[in-house]
Structure 1
Amino acid sequence: MRSKELLEELRDRIVARHRSGQCYKKISAALKVPKSTVGSIILKWKMFGMTRTLPRAGRPVKLSYLGRRALVREVKKNPKITVAELQRCSREMGESCRKSTITAALHQSGLYGRVARRKPLLSARHMKKHLKDSKMVRNKILWSDETKIELSGLNSKRYVWRKPGNTVPTEKHGGGSIMLWGCFSAAGTGRLVAIEGKMNAAKYRDILYENLLQSAQDLRLGRRFTFKQDNDPKHTAKITKEWLHNNSVTVLEWPSQSPDLNPIEHLWRDLKMPVHQRLPSNLTELERICKEECFSFLIHVQTCQQFCFSVNMGCCVYIEEKKLTNDFSKWLQYNKE
């Protein structure tokens, strides 16, 4: 990065002191200019007989140093500002330049256009709720959620090797899919249910009626377990809440603006991988293989315990200066209390 040029008046003062007999060191100390700069200015005066800036090769810069600093301040003050708005700001300052010039100037200052990283907007009330839930997560919890499994592959991006110009055949909507409801705890997996038709609050209540309490009984959680679900409208509907209340099911409330820390997402991932390795040919076979693979999880209780422990690590957050951190040492200290 090029340094800022000295004023012509200051350069003339350097030459005047040199002509009066002062050495470079004394001139540097008196005018607070680096000794090397003093030498360069005097050498230029001896060669060309002047101190003003010589014409440079190439196109002159369209954006001055002060203009670039002003644009950087605007960006830091408002990171969402667009290049077009910055161009208008530059024009108002009397420095009209192209968008590419503004972008290049911001790049020189280390500022680049990037996709904004998402961060939950948490109030003090939300953080207190997270802290309360972190203590409750140690109790017996039955985690629950739904997932979609496609017939032709995982419903996520996949990378393949291919030559330029060649395409990879795909099927619209993944060739069909099924929706599953499941639950699990540190003791293992509960029932896995295929959802037929469109999921609504009434159907979700029926799934709970037929499978929730029986799953808790199969996992030997007793009647004093805690049920965890997210804030999907079907889960928080009036008829769902009434059924949970009438059956004395304790529901661990999911605070607003919460990241998705449900460990059942890991379970769904581990289920989908072996299912698609078996290459089901139709939806009926896909459902059968899903239930077979889910049943095999019953012998992997240690895996379920690891999933629950991982979410315990994520939920037990330490609140300091209204910020959430995942400091492991603070987590250990908190859990000893």
Structure 2
Amino acid sequence: MKSKEHTRQVRDKVIQKFKAGLGYKKISRALNIPRSTVQAIIQKWKEYGTTVNLPRQGRPPKLTGRTRRVLIRNAAKSPMVTLDELQRSTAQVGESVHRTTISCALHKVGLYGRVARRKPLLTENHKKSRLQFATSHVGDTANMWKKVLWSDETKMELLGQNAKRYVWRKTNTAHHSEHTIPTVKYGGGSIMLWGCFSSAGTGKLVRVDGKMDGAKYRAILEENLLESAKDLRLGRRFTFQQDNEPKHKARATMEWFKTKHIHVLEWPSQSPDLNPIENLWQDLKTAVHKRCPSNLTELELFCKEEWARISVSRCAKLVETYPKRLAAVIAAKGGSTKYCLRGLNNYAHPTVQLFICKKMFGIMYDFCSTSHVHTTLYWSFTWNSNKIDSCLWL
């Protein structure tokens, strides 16, 4: 509710008593008003020489300071609260305002509507395991991490898009060819890749034909792991990193490592943010999709070419800064960190697309409809297996 405004008579009495030599505290007690109010009245009188209400600039704000603070507090306390819920909360205190007014108030304090990042689900056991891994390795030397061969698999999609694409266009031209991005059902096909790298550069990148199982995984290791370690000059006593997928931890696979005398790094589950190869996958997808491969054969070729082009300095930097990842896990007490690059793989369904689109851009739609804006930036809505590319009003 709006704070109480004192009458002209009360303000004049404050000035009279001030002129008589009374201090702020005595005036406050005599008139039974807060000391801060007394101070504000006197300061205004000193500056403008009057106690009358001065002309205000512009229209008074729809939201009072108190309601604005409540909105900000609710949004900070419950980040997933919707504008509709905040709007209803203002109506309950007698201040019915538009969604746009609420969003503007939140924007002024740096709160913006954004799509929540997708992070691996972490149980308490996962967090405990991640924290134990980080604390046990945070003191390891830089030379130790240089001896690690990092590995992982990733899926590359044909005609996928990894970057936002915006178009300037007029109304009713959304389907013109120059305003669209060509897509193929199910992304036009995809390939699965296995790769590895160390601080000395990238190792082998191999296409996985068919479904990956334990036998196929061991065949890939047999043909590529030791050769990659040799090419990267890791020596005999290097450490191999892999995640905890069943085919990786199968008894036959672990026996293979034992037979080859390869030390395998103990890895906490649900920890893609601790594997720096995730950054290289992102680099690879961005580079390949810029070349627009037209078929799966070209896709594989471009992947291998771009993988070979990744600089040694890029690889070395990722390994050099690895202690920062461990520190981030420790700071988060085993929780998620900013280093996780996993996308929105589970949100490719059209219903979910529409839901997120409405949630993210409801503010823009409301603004355009209520402000009679006729010239609008129109966008298109595209997806791939990793993230939303762009979400735009059609």
Fold equivalence (TM over 0.5) = yes
Alpha carbons of structure 1 residues 36 and 188: separation in structure 2 relative to 1, 3 Å: closer
Aligned AA (1:72): I
* Matches of 2:290 and 2:65, distance apart in 1: 60
The aligned counterpart of 2:183 is 171
The answer to whether the 8 Å contact 1:155/1:174 transfers is: no
**Which one of 225, 228, 241 corresponds to residue 228 of structure 1?**
241
Matches within 5 A, 1:169-248: 169-172=181-184, 173-248=186-261
The answer to whether the 8 Å contact 1:83/1:99 transfers is: no
Aligned AA (1:195): V
Alpha-carbon RMSD across the aligned residues, in angstroms, is 4.7
Matches within 5 A, 1:65-80: 65-80=65-80
Superposed CA deviations along residues 13-37 of structure 1, whole A, max 9, x for unmatched, are 44246668x6398687864334343
* Matches of 1:305 and 1:221, distance apart in 2: 16
* Matches of 1:64 and 1:79, distance apart in 2: 22
Superposed CA deviations along residues 69-121 of structure 1, whole A, max 9, x for unmatched, are 334333333333333443454455x4252453871574386263422665897
Other structure's SS at 1:76 match: helix
Stretches of structure 2 lacking an aligned partner (at least 5 in a row) = 28-37, 333-394
Alpha carbons of structure 1 residues 259 and 207: separation in structure 2 relative to 1, 3 Å: closer
Alpha carbons of structure 1 residues 115 and 241: separation in structure 2 relative to 1, 3 Å: farther
Superposed CA deviations along residues 189-248 of structure 1, whole A, max 9, x for unmatched, are 433322111223432232223322343344443432101123445434454344334443
Post-superposition offset of 1:59: 8.9
Which gives a bigger RCO, structure 1 or 2 (Cα 8 Å, sep 6+)? Answer: 2
The answer to whether the 8 Å contact 2:84/2:99 transfers is: no
The aligned counterpart of 2:148 is 141
The aligned counterpart of 2:82 is 82
Post-superposition offset of 1:259: 5.1
Aligned AA (2:6): L
Alpha carbons of structure 1 residues 234 and 312: separation in structure 2 relative to 1, 3 Å: farther
Stretches of structure 1 lacking an aligned partner (at least 5 in a row) = 45-52, 325-337
Post-superposition offset of 1:143: 1.8
What TM-score, normalized to structure 1?
0.65
* Matches of 1:290 and 1:5, distance apart in 2: 68
The answer to whether the 8 Å contact 2:83/2:103 transfers is: no
Aligned AA (1:75): A
The answer to whether the 8 Å contact 1:144/1:264 transfers is: yes
Post-superposition offset of 1:140: 1.2
Identity, % of aligned pairs? 41
* Matches of 1:161 and 1:96, distance apart in 2: 39
Other structure's SS at 1:37 match: helix
The aligned counterpart of 1:311 is 319
The aligned counterpart of 2:12 is 15
Aligned AA (2:9): D
The structure with the larger Rg is 1
Matches within 5 A, 1:122-137: 123=127, 126-134=130-138, 135=140, 137=144
* Matches of 1:270 and 1:37, distance apart in 2: 60
Post-superposition offset of 1:142: 1.4
Other structure's SS at 1:33 match: helix
The aligned counterpart of 2:39 is 33
What TM-score, normalized to structure 2?
0.58
The aligned counterpart of 1:103 is 102
Post-superposition offset of 1:170: 1.2
The answer to whether the 8 Å contact 1:150/1:177 transfers is: yes
Post-superposition offset of 1:162: 6.3
Alignment coverage as a number of residue pairs: 305
Alpha carbons of structure 1 residues 109 and 309: separation in structure 2 relative to 1, 3 Å: closer
* Matches of 2:229 and 2:278, distance apart in 1: 19
* Matches of 1:321 and 1:284, distance apart in 2: 39
Post-superposition offset of 1:264: 3.6
